[in-house]
Every structure is written in structure tokens, then in C-alpha cells.
Amino acid sequence: MLAANLIDLDELVLRCRDARTRTYVQEAVACLKAGVPRAAVIVTWVAVVHDLRAKIAELAQAGDPEALKQNETYQRFVNNPDSVNAVLAAERDVLTKVKPFELLGCIALEDLARLQRDRNRCAHPSMLDADNDYRPTHEVARSHLVHAVQHLFEHPPMQGKVALERLWSELARDYFPEDLAKLVAHFERGPLGRPRQSLLNNFVTLLLKHYLRVAADTTPDSPLHVATHHTCWESRVAQTLAAVMHMHRAHVESIVGEKLEGMLERTKDERLGALVVMIARVREVWHAVPEHQRNRLRHYVANTLPDADVLHVLLFAWNTELKADAETYMKTHDACWAKLASIPEPPSEWCMLAVNQLSAALNFDAALEPVRFLLKHTSLLSESAAELLLSAIENNVVLKKVKLLDDLILNLSDSPYIRLELKQALIERRRLEESLALRREYSSNT
């Protein structure tokens, strides 16, 4: 049972990001398999020093001023054969020198410092007492190698605040991939490829906070400000959350579930529309919303939508678990049809809802806006909806006061989607209305 929980040594080799570091780790693994833990500890420390220097060099290429300074100093020492003592000092202080880059957390630094001490014991004559030399056990050497891979070798150089700012600023870049698969491929090449839990937690929390507009750090000079004022910002944040969830589903779902409850408690009702849109774009978010907040969302969609949110919230809610609540709002708020008419391609089911509204209309105002909606989207009417509309026209006297109904009937008669018999019925209906209108006009003149 215990052996089943141990990380495979060959897997540790594959998890290394840098090719030269991977070579050192292969040597350390070979030492462990050969039963030489002392050599494994020494090679693992050499790999740590190399990997830290490689990460600093990578940061220097990206323009980090502190990395540029340290890299130049180190290269000068390496190229000077008389700088042996300086190189030894650089190795001795390497864990201290990397602190400004936030490559390692407190526990990681402690684990690697322990590796450094054990390396010194292994590389120099060390004695437990007068009669016994220091001999590292196989378990100690293995744990050092596992810690080095988990804390350092498998991660890109940016993991702290620098990585977080870089990820956030990418949302405002022109090259931001709109396709989910391309976005996942883009993130896998950066800090999110093998992120530490802290980076993943902070980035997902940041996405949720700014999507719901509860964060305050939007100073003009910050990358947050640039991203949040981008025209496609909300769409990009939702797409980014979907990509990160695709890459690290178990961790991200846990973070979303943990963070959303507290955020929603502080989110005003007028910002709930943003969450509805996010749920439509990232369906997994719905399952992370606490039950009492789901009820709040249902009530918001069904009863209290602000006028400014009606259009996009109803459209997005229609494709989520909030569909029934969106339908309730459309049935009880006749005025919403004026806004819905502006959507170029609404769901075809909305036409049947509009027809049902006409059938049940009790006054002119209740009938006018659904007629305008149907007039603009006549081509979406199915035959069953057209037949129901004809029945409503025949039986609901309120509809006779709506002059736009004649244009709707004319549009229906021209529709290629309506069968011939129904077209003829519509034409006869229109002729009858015209005949009755002429008779009324004649009677009023005589």
C-alpha cells in the first residue's frame, strides 16, 4: 500500500521543464537505483543550482532588471578562471539571491536549504560521532529529489506576483486567442502549465472578483485597469476561466466553490447579470454556486431584472439551468419584447412564447410589443406557431385593435416555411379584414 503512494522515479525525470536539469535528475535517479544515495543527494543539489541559474537567465531575457544584474555578475564569474571563490559564494547564497523573484515559497526554501545542508555533509567528511560517518539513507535522498522536482524543476520561472500580473495583462493583448483550444495551448506554455497551488488560487480568485466587479485595484497604471477596460473584457475573463478549468478541473472547481459563496454575499443584485453570463459561458460554475444563491439568481432572472440587463441576461440565461426563470420573466413583463426584438437571431422558442402572449393578451399594450417582435422574426415561426397565431387572431378581440397585425399576417403569407393551406387561410383572413374595413368606412360615410 505504501509503495503504491510513492512517486515513480522515472516520472520525476519527465516532469522536469529544463533539458539540462532533466539530465541531472536522470543521474540522480540512476544513483538511487544503483543504491548510492550519497551521490544522488550531491547531484540533486547541483541540479537545483543549475535550475535556479537557468530560471534567472530566462527572467533576464524577459527584461527583469534584478535578473539581468544577477545574470551578468554570474556570467562574469564563470568566464574568469580566477573567480573560483566568487562562484562558490554564489552557490552558497543561491537560495537567498532568488528570494526577490518569488520562485519559491517559505516551505520550499526550507526544504531546499535542508538539501543544501545534506549535500555539504555528503560532499565533505562528516561524522555522526567519533566512530560513525554520516551516511544518507535512500529515503532521505529520494525525498530531496522529490522536493526539488515539486518545488522547482517542474515550474516555469514566474510563479509569484510577477506571474499573476503577466497572466492578467494578457487579457488585454491583441493576440488573445478567442478559441478555447488555442487559449489552453497558449496557457500551457506559460506559468499555468504547471502552476503552484497558490498561483492557481490567486488567479482564479482574481478572475471571479473582477468579473463580479468587487475588486478595488483598478488604478490607471496597473495591468488590472488595462484589462478591465478592454472592450471584450468580460468575454475574455469567462473564456480564461473556462480554459483554466479545462487544464486543472479538480483544483479550479474547488477554488470556485470556496470563493464564490463569500463573493456573492458581497455582490449587489444589479451585478448578478454578470454571473448569469458567466454561467452560460462556463457551465461548470453553476454547480459551484451555493443553493441559497441559486435561489437568489432564479428570483433575479424571473422578477427583478434591471432594464439595462434584460437583453443579454435573458439571452444567456436561456441556455442554462435558469431557462425556466427567463421564460417566467418574458411571460410576466410584456415590455421586454421591445428589447428582445433587437436580437438578430433569437431562439426560435421565443416566437412561440410571443404567440402565447398574444393569445392571452387582455389589452392593447400587452399585445403590441409581442406583435412587433413577431413582425421582425416571422421567418422563425414554425407551422404550429403560425396556426396558433391564426387561432389567436380569430378568437382574441383585443388583437383587432393592433394595426401592425395586418403586416404580420402579410409576412406570414409570404413565408416559405408555412404550408399552402395555412397561407390560404391567412390570405382569406386578410381579405376578410379588408372587406370589413371597407364596409365600416362605407357605413360611416352614408
Residue 133: phi and psi, rounded to 5, are -80, 155
Please give the average per-residue pLDDT across 428-437, as a whole number. 60
Contact 154, 16 (CB under 8 A): yes
Burial 141-155 (b: 16+ CB within 10 A, else e): bbebbbbbbbbbbbb
Per-residue pLDDT for 30 more than 90?
A: yes
Residue range 12-23, pLDDT digits in tens: 999 998 899 999
Is the per-residue pLDDT at 314 higher than 90?
no
The angle, 0 to 180 degrees and rounded to 10, between the axes of the packed helices 249-266 and 233-247 is 140
Q: Does 422 score more than 50 pLDDT?
A: yes
Out of 231-235, 244-248, 260-264, 388-392, least confident range? 231-235
- 3-class DSSP state for residue 57? helix
**27 pLDDT exceeds 90?**
yes
The predicted-structure confidence for 249-279, as pLDDT tens digits, reads as follows 888 888 888 888 888 888 888 778 878 888 8
Long-range contacts of 231-234 (CB under 8 A, 24+ apart): 232/176, 233/171, 233/172, 234/274, 234/277
Q: What distances in angstroms separate CA 344 from CA 76, 315, 340, one per listed residue? A: 65, 12, 9
pLDDT at 421: 65
Query: Given a cut of 70, is residue 213 above it in pLDDT?
Result: no
402 pLDDT more than 70: no
Q: Distances in Å between the alpha carbon of 320 and those of 232, 277, 314?
A: 22, 9, 10
- Bigger pLDDT: 46 or 223? 46
Averaged pLDDT, 285-300? 88
As beta bridge partners, residue 127 has 133
Task: Please name which of 433, 427, 359 lies closest in space to residue 398, comparing C-alpha atoms.
Answer: 359
As a whole-number percent, the residues of the chain with pLDDT over 90 amount to: 17
| Mean pLDDT for all residues in the chain | 80
Q: 9 or 166, which is more confident?
A: 9
Per-residue confidence band for 134, with pLDDT thresholds at 50, 70 and 90? confident
Q: What is the pLDDT of residues 82-103, one digit of tens each?
A: 777 887 888 889 999 888 877 8
Asked if pLDDT for residue 161 goes beyond 60, the answer is: yes
What is the DSSP annotation of 143-170?
HHHHHHIIIIITS-S--SHHHHHHHHHG
* pLDDT confidence tier of residue 48, bands split at 50, 70 and 90: very high
pLDDT digits (tens, 9 = 90+) for 321-362: 899 999 999 888 888 888 888 888 888 888 888 888 888 887
Q: Taking 80 as the threshold, does the pLDDT of residue 184 lie above it?
A: yes
Question: Rounded to an integer, what distance in angstroms lies between the CA atom of residue 322 and that of residue 324?
Answer: 6
Q: What is the band of 215 on the pLDDT scale with cuts at 50, 70, 90?
A: very low
pLDDT band at 110 (very low <50, low <70, confident <90, very high): very high
pLDDT one-digit tens code per residue, 239-250:
888 899 888 888
Non-local (6+) Cβ contacts of 113 within 8 A are 95
Residue 217 has pLDDT above 60, yes or no: no
- Calpha distance 322→300 (Å, rounded): 10
Residue 149 binned pLDDT confidence (cut-offs 50, 70, 90): very high
Whole-prediction pTM: 0.58
- Structure confidence at residue 26 as a pLDDT band (50, 70, 90): very high
Average pLDDT over residues 286-306: 87
Amino acid at 248: H
Contacts of 114 (CB under 8 A, 6+ apart): 144
Is residue 227's pLDDT more than 90? no
User: Is residue 382 predicted with pLDDT exceeding 60?
Assistant: yes
Phi-psi region of 102 (alpha: psi -120 to 50; beta: other; left: phi over 0): left
Query: For residue 81, is pLDDT > 50?
Result: yes
Predicted confidence (pLDDT) per residue in 363-381, tens digit: 877 788 888 888 888 878 7
